[in-house]
Amino acid sequence: MSTAAVPTDYTNRVLYSEEAASFSPEVLAEMDAHIAKYPPDRKRSALIPLLLLVVQRERGYIDNAGVNFLAQKLELEVTDVWETATFYSMFNMRPVGRHHIQICKTLSCRVMGEPQITEHICNRLGIHVGETTPDERFTVSLVECLGSCGTAPMMQIGFDYHEDLTPEKVDKLLDSLE
Ligand code: FES
């Protein structure tokens, strides 16, 4: 399976709405604990932890209603929240599988074999870049430099880095994931 001609569309296609998410009292308290780490007039500093540790965890990805909630909570414009959420590849703009495979596609990884690694992973999983396996176990994405250029080619799965990749290493790794 070739990955070359497949468009990689990472946009969130949810149309704008003013609906805001709701969270349990426990989750709201967790949010307040993060906000309390910053001065009262700097609560926007809690945006990244709240996006990652709360909204993405609770809702599976960064959705419109979660963004609306955070904008209200942190007294920000909705566009402020989207600007941050869409800048970092650690934020998912749509539902992903249990294991989100993010392969670095930037220069060092590219010249050290990223295309072969990407093709190997996609062939093995039977999906294209940007897709999720039917059993919802794996999603494959290409991302910009993950700051581990000296061990290219590399990829991130969840919070873990996997470096100096070869097809054999990839096979072992995928075999080990449930
Ligand atoms: S180019 Fe791949 S980690 Fe930097």
* CATH classification at residue 106: 3.40.30.10
For the entire predicted model, the pTM comes to 0.82
Rounded CA-CA distance 99/82 in Å is 24
Evaluate: CB of 121 within 6 angstroms of ligand 1. Answer: no
Evaluate: CB of 104 within 6 angstroms of ligand 1. Answer: yes
> What pLDDT is attached to residue 178?
85
- What's the gap in Å between 81 CA and the centre of ligand 1? 26
Pocket test for ligand 1, best of 89, 90, 103, 104 (most atoms within 8 A of CB): 104
Which structural domain range is residue 127 located in? 99-176
**3-state SS string for 116-152:** HHHHHHHHHHCCCCCCECCCCCEEEEEECCCCCHHHC
Evaluate: CB of 108 within 6 angstroms of ligand 1. Answer: yes
**Does residue 17 lie in a domain region?**
no
Same domain, 112 and 151: yes
**Are the C-beta atoms of 67 and 52 separated by less than 8 Å?**
no
**Are the C-beta atoms of 45 and 77 separated by less than 8 Å?**
no
Same domain, 81 and 104: no
48: CB partners within 8 A, 6+ apart: 84, 88
Helix (H) or strand (E) holding 73: helix 64-73
**Does residue 9 lie in a domain region?**
no
**Does residue 30 lie in a domain region?**
yes
Q: Is the confidence at residue 4, as pLDDT, over 50? A: no
Which of 82, 98, 109 has its CA nearest to residue 164? 109
Under DSSP, is residue 90 helix (H, G, I), strand (E, B) or coil? coil
Ligand 1 nearest atom to the CA of residue 145, by list position = 4
Tokens of 113: 């074999």
**Does residue 15 lie in a domain region?**
no
Q: Is the confidence at residue 15, as pLDDT, over 80? A: no
* pLDDT band, very low/low/confident/very high, at 5 (cuts 50, 70, 90): very low
**Single residue among 87, 108, 130 that ends a domain in this structure:** 87
Which of 133, 131, 104, 127 has its CA nearest to residue 117? 104
> What pLDDT is attached to residue 22?
95
> What pLDDT is attached to residue 105?
97
Under DSSP, is residue 100 helix (H, G, I), strand (E, B) or coil? strand
Q: In this predicted model, what pLDDT tens digit does every residue of 152-161 receive, in sequence order?
A: 999 999 989 9
**Does residue 64 lie in a domain region?**
yes
Rounded CA-CA distance 44/34 in Å is 11
Number of domains in the chain: 2
Q: In this predicted model, what pLDDT tens digit does every residue of 111-168 receive, in sequence order?
A: 999 999 999 999 999 999 999 999 999 999 999 999 999 999 999 999 899 999 999 9
User: To the nearest whole number, what is the mean pLDDT of the chain?
Assistant: 91
**Does residue 45 lie in a domain region?**
yes
**Single residue among 87, 111, 132 that ends a domain in this structure:** 87
**Does residue 63 lie in a domain region?**
yes
* Residues linked to residue 140 through DSSP beta bridges, in sequence order: 101
Same domain, 33 and 80: yes
Q: Is the confidence at residue 53, as pLDDT, over 90? A: no
Evaluate: CB of 36 within 6 angstroms of ligand 1. Answer: no
Ligand 1 nearest atom to the CA of residue 108, by list position = 1
Tokens of 160: 């873990």
**Single residue among 87, 113, 131 that ends a domain in this structure:** 87
**Does residue 16 lie in a domain region?**
no
